[in-house]
Amino acid sequence: METRCVSCGHVAVNKRSPICAALKDKGAPDADVADAQIPVDKLPRCGERDCRGLLRPNVVFFGETMDSHILTKVEEQMETCDLCLVVGTSSIVYPAAMFGPQIASRGVPVAEFNTNTTPKTEYFTFHFQGPCGTTLPQALAQHESEGI
């Protein structure tokens, strides 16, 4: 729900999907699109100061390095959390694949939500098998109704 400027690094909330009109109907992010033929002047641009750098989703794409500041924040949260939800991941891409097992090693309950078991399932307290869009809301509703 955020964009990040590739030039100045400014992060802004962007709840539009796609992030700009020029990207509408250009295929899914993982689609094999040889050339989306988007005019350069229609690409999303930064509005911070006079930057005008290109915008991208504020996510870590496969093959990119995770920002060390984010990793530090994650590690801090991992030390204090009392429950961890691992949702819709293969649990094979690091460093994210290590978060759930590290928390579980402290005796903290970890609930995995996935369509299949993963290489890390055995480390977790709970495994909810099925589409995350179905299993997660059901588990949260049950949790809420029990006052837990």
Numbered residues of the known binding site:
5, 8, 46, 51
Residues making up the annotated binding site for Zn(2+) are: 5, 8, 46, 51
Asked if 13 and 2 count as a contact pair (C-beta separation under 8 A), the reply is yes
Both structure tokens of 47? 């509005």
For the stretch 78-83, contacts whose Cβ atoms lie closer than 8 Å and that sit 24 or more positions apart, written own/partner, are 78/102, 78/103, 81/108, 82/108, 82/109, 83/108, 83/109, 83/110, 83/111
